[in-house]
Amino acid sequence: MKPAPFDYAAPAELTDAVTALAERPETARVLAGGQSLVLDMHYRRERPALLVDINNVRGLDVITVDGHTLRIGALARHRAFETPTVAPAALGRLLSRVSPYIAHPPVRARGTMAGSLAWANPVSEWCATAVALDAGIELTGPLGRRRVPAGDFFVGPFRTARQPAEILTSVLLPLLPGQVGVGFCEQRRTHASFAQVAAVAVLTLRDGVIAEARLGLAGAADRPVRAHDAERHLVGREAEPEVFAQAGELAAAGSDPLAEPHAGVEYRRHVVGVLVRRALAQAREDSNGNYGDEGRDRHEGREAR
């Protein structure tokens, strides 16, 4: 099928985009990369009366370090995150490890991180990453700007806390300084398939002991979630395979996956455990690659004391 008719606006200023959207928010949709929205318009699952195309809005494609935060504009494409230099240290390594799992190059050339978060597919890689990192989601509407923590933003499959008259204008990710290791694992049917389950792991280590653990899961519930029980288990323990396996079991037990034709609930729960264990091992490995930094940090720490 082809998309149903719609009105089209492509303003060059954010205020004009917000005004256009506010005129009929319930029947309008925001077009960024369009790689999911346009597909659903083909199916006519989406029949917006008005499409507000933000691709011409100036300044929305920026990715900048702003204090302790990476600010990602609404038009930053998936492709921008393919190289680790997109962000300092561990955050850059994590984003560049995740982005190749999103569809394939032509889709990554158009699709955006902010758009993925606004779309809120429960198996989205970026949504799991945002939840793992406690991202800030910045929304701009007729009443101004507000910020919602990722943990409160996702409220169900393809449902978010965004109001119809709001545009998701920025994603704020915390930089990951210090001795941090990152990991990402995904299970999918074919190379370009959506994830069945994916796991994001971020470990902060001190002398081989886990000081902080963040686990973000895709496909483990009706929305992206953190594996809080597994995180609590990890903190204070040695970064060892048995501990990772225990964390995987806790994450699996705590998950509540939706059934889908190619991956039943029990299967997905099993996969959650396996991927959490592997992502944690990857994170430890990733931090090993940076022992030089850890050594220096420790040395400086001692001198400071």
| Contacts to another protein by CB under 8 A | 2-10, 31, 34-35, 38-39, 41-42, 51, 53, 55, 79, 100, 104-107, 109-110, 191-192
Q: Which is nearer to another protein, 3 or 177 (CB)?
A: 3
Which residues, listed in sequence order, are joined to residue 9 by a DSSP beta bridge? 52
Question: Residue written as tokens 């955050």?
Answer: 91
Q: How far is CA 133 from CA 46, 56, 94, 159, in A?
A: 31, 29, 11, 20
Q: What are phi and psi of 66, to 5 degrees?
A: -130, 90
Query: How near is the Cβ of 97 to another protein at its closest, in Å?
Result: 14
CA–CA separation, 26 vs 10, rounded Å? 18
At 59, list the tokens.
């300044």
At 18, list the tokens.
């917000």
Q: Which is nearer to another protein, 36 or 179 (CB)?
A: 36
At 304, list the tokens.
């400071």
Element containing residue 22 per DSSP (H, E): helix 14-23
Query: How near is the Cβ of 93 to another protein at its closest, in Å?
Result: 17
At 58, list the tokens.
């100036």
Query: How near is the Cβ of 171 to another protein at its closest, in Å?
Result: 22
Q: Which is nearer to another protein, 89 or 107 (CB)?
A: 107
Query: How near is the Cβ of 241 to another protein at its closest, in Å?
Result: 27
Q: Which is nearer to another protein, 79 or 277 (CB)?
A: 79
Q: Which is nearer to another protein, 10 or 161 (CB)?
A: 10
Query: How near is the Cβ of 18 to another protein at its closest, in Å?
Result: 18
Cβ-in-10-Å burial (0-12, 13-18, 19+) of 291 comes to exposed
